[in-house]
Amino acid sequence: MELRGEGSGGVGRAGKARRGRSREAGGQAARALLGIEREGRARARRRRLTASPQIESSAMNKRKLKESSGTDGECISQVQKMLRERLCHHRAMGKLFGIDQQYKHLLELLKQTTVCGESNSALIIGPRGSGKTALLNRVLKDLREMKQVKENLLEVHLNGLLQTNDKVALKEITRQLHLENVVGDKVFGSFAENLAFLLEALRKGNRTSSCPVLFVLDEFDLFVHHKNQTLLYNLFDISQSAQTPVTVIGLTCRQDILELLEKRVKSRFSHRRIYLMNSFAFKQYIRIFKEQLSLPAEFPDKAFAQKWNSNIQLLTEDKTVQDILQNLFHYSKDLRSLNFLLMLAVSNVTVRHPLITASDLQEASKQYRMDSKANIVHGLSVLEICLIIAMKHLNDVYEGEPFNFQMVYNEFQKFIQRKAHCMYNFEKPVVMKAFEHLLQLELVKPIERPSAYPNCPTDVKQWAASSLSWL
């Protein structure tokens, strides 16, 4: 139990672990113990924990409880399953909120492609978590249900994070289209051959007789950085010429995406943009909250469903709940963060605690919006706190100038000698150790010394500093 508490104590805002019965006092004690740990390590430990037999035993306990509480337990597990699916998975069945316009537009667009063989291109643009993929998946699902469309559409899904260059992307396209140079799962031929082959294949087709192809480019902005934008040019060019009907749908969160397109590519792009903006007010937000938590009418246990739903209705009218939601809404409007919060809250539901309460939500919100750095500081030892305070004073004195360990140590010594009455005077190596720990926690960062390699060319330096984020 203690270990489990430790784990949840270390969990940052990402804590997804079921905290069912771990909210006992142990957690509090363990947090102090474990706060020292780095976040990453804590996470690793949590992972280990979930695999450990402790969980199994708790699961067994739950099962026992379930048996005792009979159908109630059954209901709870069903509710959890259903809600978790709704909140975590980007399943197509998920409801779409406030984007009916966009839905219709996209559906119409794809219908034209499949039914009439009209080529098109469009971009779905919206901030992260605004439901771009959900929208597309939903549209595709609805499309596939139409008989005329189902057999008439070839889909190619690409992701900018996976297909990092045109060569890989081409192979993937060829593979997904099952063209004839694919044997098994392997694509034969060089890059140039593949390109020529694919272009030839698409050129041969025509509007009325060829099967339309839908290209979905997730993380569209990453394709823009491919050399010469060859892939985009060709896809858009096909969509603008009398070849195989093709629809190119790009998904991106960058608002400046059009500026990234090369002028020829841009000219070939149809400039159809579907924006997802989270453009709802707080009232709608509350309604979304309610709908996400409500149980559907087809829930097997009607009585429980009714009870649950009325509880949700009560929650939406609750002042604290509204405050929590308002806070979150002010912080971020995307639905993914709401789902996350609800996920944490729903995880608290057990047989003993069958309905979500405002306090559950509050707890979840606290967890969700926990300040990670402050959290780390909470777990520091007194000596480490002292050092941090010393550093803060130094920072104030020298106006943000860098300092070294000796300066910090001197500052600490000054404090010990002048003001401290109950503070034990630590040996220098012990202080050094504490300092190193702070370094490890990245509460203190060594400054980058530019003189370490004075003649380093700028581009090399930039390269060294770069990560994926330079894209």
Partner 1 sequence: MQKKKKRKGVGEDEACVTVSPSASVGDGRKPARRSAQTALAISKNCSFMCFCFSSGIMDTRQQSKIIYSWYGKPTNSDRKLRTLQYKGILIKSERSRKERCIQLGDFVLVEGENADQPFVAQLLDLYEDGAEQKHAVVQWFSHISEIPKNKQKLLKRRISSQEVFFDKVSGYDTDIAVETIIDSVLVIPLRLKDELPTRLKKEKIFCVKQSWDGKCFKALSPHTFSKLNEANRKEDGIPNSFNSFVPSDIISSAKKETKKAGLSATKTKNVEMEIESKHSASKSSLSKKRHSLRVANGIKNPTARKKLELNSPTRSPKSKLLEQEDIWALLDDDCDSQLLKPTAIKRKVKFTEVLSSPPKITCANDKLKSVFGTAEDQEVLSGTLRLSPYRKLEDSNEKVKSLNMEVDAIVLTGHKELGSQSPAVTPRSRRTCTQETSTRIAEQISLLNMLESKEEEDFLSSSDGSYSSSSEEEDSDVSCTPEKKTKPSRMFSTPKSSRKPSVHTPAKTPKKTPLPGTPRTPRNATPEIPRRSHAAQKPTSVLEEARLRLHVSAVPESLPCREEEFQDIYNFVESKLIDGTGGCMYISGVPGTGKTATVHEVIRCLQRATEDDDLPSFQFIEINGMKLTDPHQAYVQILELLTGQKVTATHAAVLLANLFCTPGPKRKTTVLVVDELDLLWTRKQNVMYNLFDWPTQKHSKLIILAIANTMDLPERIMMNRVSSRLGLTRMSFQPYTYKQLQQIISSRLNSVKAFEEDAIQLVSRKVAALSGDARRCLDICRRAAEICEFSSQKSADEIVRMTHITQAIDEMFSSPYIQAIRNASLHEQIFFKAILAEFRRVGVEEATVQQVYRQHIALCRMEGMQSPTVSDILAICARLGACRLLLLESSSKYLHMRVRLNISQDDVMYALKDD
Q: Assign 332 to helix, strand or coil.
A: coil
Structure tokens at 26: 């142990």
Q: Does 466 bind partner 1 (CB under 8 A)?
A: yes
**Closest separation in Å from C-beta 357 to partner 1:** 22
> Is there a contact between 387 and 408 (Cβ–Cβ < 8 Å)?
yes
| DSSP assignments along 297-328, one per residue | TT-S-HHHHHHHHHHHHHHHH-HHHHHHHHHH
Residues 274-303 that bind partner 1 (CB under 8 A): 275, 277-279
**Closest separation in Å from C-beta 170 to partner 1:** 9
Residues 61-90 that bind partner 1 (CB under 8 A): none
End-to-end CA distance of the chain: 45
Q: How many residues bind partner 1 (CB under 8 A)?
A: 91
Residues 233-252 that bind partner 1 (CB under 8 A): 233-234, 237, 239-245
Site string for partner 1, 2-21 (x = CB under 8 A): -----------x--------
**Closest separation in Å from C-beta 95 to partner 1:** 20
Q: Which stretch binds partner 1 (CB under 8 A): 62-70, 151-159, 296-304, 376-384?
A: 151-159
Q: Does 116 bind partner 1 (CB under 8 A)?
A: yes
> Which residue number, 72 or 363, has a Cβ lying nearer to partner 1?
363
What is the distance between the alpha carbons of residues 378 and 385, in angstroms, rounded to a whole number? 9
> Which residue number, 88 or 196, has a Cβ lying nearer to partner 1?
196
Contacting residues for 79 by C-beta, under 8 A, at least 6 apart: 295, 304, 308, 346, 349
> Which residue number, 92 or 199, has a Cβ lying nearer to partner 1?
199
What is the distance between the alpha carbons of residues 46 and 283, in angstroms, rounded to a whole number? 37
Backbone region of residue 294 per phi and psi (left: phi > 0; alpha: psi in -120 to 50; beta: other values): beta
> Which residue number, 266 or 307, has a Cβ lying nearer to partner 1?
266
Residues 314-353 that bind partner 1 (CB under 8 A): 327, 329-333
Q: Does 254 bind partner 1 (CB under 8 A)?
A: yes
Q: Does 188 bind partner 1 (CB under 8 A)?
A: yes
Which H or E run includes 367?
helix 358-368
Q: Does 406 bind partner 1 (CB under 8 A)?
A: no
> Is there a contact between 410 and 402 (Cβ–Cβ < 8 Å)?
no
Exposed, middle or buried: residue 96 (CB in 10 Å: 0-12, 13-18, 19+)? middle
**Closest separation in Å from C-beta 239 to partner 1:** 8
Sole binder of partner 1 in the list 143, 201, 251, 349 (CB under 8 A): 201
> Which residue number, 73 or 131, has a Cβ lying nearer to partner 1?
131
Q: Does 463 bind partner 1 (CB under 8 A)?
A: no
Residues 29-48 that bind partner 1 (CB under 8 A): none
CA angle 32, 37, 39 (to 5 degrees): 115
> Is there a contact between 8 and 17 (Cβ–Cβ < 8 Å)?
yes
Residues 428-447 that bind partner 1 (CB under 8 A): 445
Structure tokens at 77: 């597990």
Q: Does 142 bind partner 1 (CB under 8 A)?
A: no
Structure tokens at 152: 């008439």
Sole binder of partner 1 in the list 51, 93, 196, 460 (CB under 8 A): 196
> Which residue number, 128 or 283, has a Cβ lying nearer to partner 1?
128
Radius of gyration of the chain (CA): 28
Q: Does 264 bind partner 1 (CB under 8 A)?
A: yes
Q: Which stretch binds partner 1 (CB under 8 A): 62-70, 189-197, 300-308, 387-395?
A: 189-197
Q: Which stretch binds partner 1 (CB under 8 A): 28-36, 117-125, 314-322, 380-388?
A: 117-125
CA angle 90, 91, 94 (to 5 degrees): 95
**Closest separation in Å from C-beta 394 to partner 1:** 17
**Closest separation in Å from C-beta 393 to partner 1:** 18
| 199, 260, 290, 349 from 364: Cα distances, Å | 52, 40, 16, 12
Strand pairing category for 120-125 and 246-252: parallel
What is the distance between the alpha carbons of residues 189 and 171, in angstroms, rounded to a whole number? 9
Residues 216-235 that bind partner 1 (CB under 8 A): 228, 230, 233-234
> Is there a contact between 280 and 98 (Cβ–Cβ < 8 Å)?
yes
